[in-house]
């Protein structure tokens, strides 16, 4: 056989293997309906190249190491106490200044299945039973805590904590499947995201690989108790935050790596506008007292992830190789977990970039909450909270 013929045979066998996936070793073998969608990426030339050469986030203090797992959101109550955070086993914990105590939970069916496990990822299997609180926000007037639980939808619990009550589990007849983040205005309207109607949080990697566009931004009206869909056909909508004057909110689009702005009042009400193209793929966004937005970037963009977004057929082929989802994920995020936080002006201009590009101290941040000159950074994957002193 000629070398060319041999090469042809190898390619043919590989193509057959990928087509059939006989050993079910691929990252998508358990997802028969998996479809790869194109992502309309912004041109590579428009992607901000900003960097923090000093890797300032490496100066962060690591707090509560191994006392909590996967704290995504950091919330402080109207008295400034906290943080409160939702963790991997489904509880919402409260730091009283000395110790962590149980504050609230979202599942009415907790059992030994929700007991402590060695790493945050090992809770994935039972998240639909134990709950997984992601975005948290206090209503500053009532002290109620609003919760976006990935499995149980939009919920609320009073200042005394305990079992949260359900506010919304569906919209327009379509169940919430991956409730992710929220914010509340002065009238108690809740704006929130449902990242997908197909993939649950425990399959977030497949959602990333698929880039399917069933994500929605919704509004819960406390007077009518109805939930309406404001925006649909979004690719992995994630964090959401109202502007300081409540005239608009911004939300993160995870697959595209972009922030969009949705006007709530004025002549542009109901309109969508581009806000910022991000240097990476975002998780949550939070405003500070000045009305600036801190965006937690889960990972920087890589040329690989950019090209894979643009060419779904190639991505689909690669996903059928006998490579684990975790490995694909690691390649997608650029080889190693790292950390990046970017601050934007209310107009969408980059004001500050903080990084730990090697992931030496801080990794995979989910949220950046600014309080009294400090940044509190949670991570859905890590067993700690990182605190960075801005002064």
Ligand X SMILES: *[C@@H]1O[C@H](CO)[C@@H](O)[C@H](O)[C@H]1NC(C)=O
- Binding of ligand X by 129 (CB under 6 A): yes
Q: How far is the CB of 113 from ligand X (least distance, A)?
A: 5
Q: How far is the CB of 126 from ligand X (least distance, A)?
A: 8
Q: Quick one: tokens of 363? A: 């990794």
- Residue 129 or 321: the one with the smaller Cβ distance to ligand X is 129
Please state, in angstroms and rounded to a whole number, the distance separating the CA atoms of residues 254 and 181. 12
- Binding of ligand X by 115 (CB under 6 A): no
- If you search the block for the tokens 């006989």, which residue do you land on? 22
* Count of residues that interact with ligand X, criterion CB under 6 A: 4
Site map 90..109 versus ligand X, x via CB under 6 A: -------------------x
- Residue 55 or 179: the one with the smaller Cβ distance to ligand X is 179
Q: How far is the CB of 95 from ligand X (least distance, A)?
A: 29
**Residue from 11, 50, 59, 111 in contact with ligand X (CB under 6 A):** 111
* DSSP notation for 102-144: EEEES-S---GGGS--SSGGGGGGGHHHH--EEEEEE-TTT-P
- Residue 113 or 231: the one with the smaller Cβ distance to ligand X is 113
- Do the Cβ atoms of 316 and 322 come closer than 8 Å? no
- Do the Cβ atoms of 39 and 255 come closer than 8 Å? yes
- Residue 113 or 321: the one with the smaller Cβ distance to ligand X is 113
- Residue 151 or 293: the one with the smaller Cβ distance to ligand X is 151
Q: Greatest CA span in the chain, whole angstroms?
A: 78
CA dihedral 369, 374, 380, 381 (to 10 degrees): 160
SS3 at position 370: strand
Closest to 325 measured CA to CA, from 208, 205, 201: 205
- Binding of ligand X by 113 (CB under 6 A): yes
Site map 279..318 versus ligand X, x via CB under 6 A: ----------------------------------------
- DSSP β-bridge partners for residue 220: 190, 227
- Binding of ligand X by 117 (CB under 6 A): no
- Residue 56 or 113: the one with the smaller Cβ distance to ligand X is 113
Residue 109: CB atoms within 10 Å: 9
- Binding of ligand X by 128 (CB under 6 A): no
Q: Site residues (CB under 6 A) for ligand X?
A: 109, 111, 113, 129
């Amino acid at each position: 056989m000629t070398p060319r013929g041999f090469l042809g045979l190898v390619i043919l066998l590989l193509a057959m293997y990928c087509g059939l996936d006989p050993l079910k070793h691929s990252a998508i073998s358990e997802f028969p309906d998996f479809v790869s969608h194109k992502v309309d990426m912004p041109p590579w030339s428009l992607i901000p190249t900003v960097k923090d050469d000093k890797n300032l986030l490496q100066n962060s203090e690591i707090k509560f190491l191994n006392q909590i797992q996967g704290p995504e959101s950091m919330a402080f109550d109207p008295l400034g106490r906290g943080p409160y955070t939702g963790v991997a086993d489904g509880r919402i914990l409260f730091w009283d200044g000395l110790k962590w105590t149980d504050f609230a939970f979202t599942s009415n069916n907790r059992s030994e299945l929700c007991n402590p496990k060695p790493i945050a990822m090992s809770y994935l299997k039972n998240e639909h039973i134990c709950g997984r609180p992601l975005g948290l926000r206090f209503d500053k007037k009532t002290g109620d805590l609003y919760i976006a639980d990935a499995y149980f939808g939009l919920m609320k619990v009073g200042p005394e904590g305990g079992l949260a009550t359900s506010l919304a589990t569906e919209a327009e007849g379509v169940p919430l499947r991956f409730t992710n983040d929220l914010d509340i205005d002065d009238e108690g309207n809740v704006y929130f995201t449902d990242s997908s109607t197909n993939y649950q949080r425990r399959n977030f990697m497949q959602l990333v690989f698929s880039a399917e566009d069933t994500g929605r931004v919704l509004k819960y009206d406390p007077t009518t108790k109805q939930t309406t869909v404001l925006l649909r056909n979004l690719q992995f909508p994630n964090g959401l935050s109202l502007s300081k004057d409540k005239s608009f909110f911004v939300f993160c689009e995870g697959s595209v790596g972009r922030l969009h702005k949705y006007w709530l009042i004025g002549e542009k009400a109901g309109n969508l506008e581009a806000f910022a193209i991000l240097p990476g793929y975002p998780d949550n966004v939070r405003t500070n007292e000045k009305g600036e937005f801190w965006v937690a970037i889960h990972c920087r963009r890589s040329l690989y992830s950019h090209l894979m977004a643009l060419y779904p057929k190639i991505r689909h082929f690669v996903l059928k190789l006998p490579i684990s989802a975790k490995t694909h994920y690691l390649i997608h995020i650029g080889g190693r977990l790292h950390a990046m936080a970017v601050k934007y002006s209310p107009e969408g201009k980059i004001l500050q970039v903080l990084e730990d590009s090697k992931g030496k101290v801080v990794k995979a941040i989910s949220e950046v909450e600014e309080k009294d000159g400090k940044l509190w950074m949670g991570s859905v994957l890590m067993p700690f909270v990182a605190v960075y002193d801005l002064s």
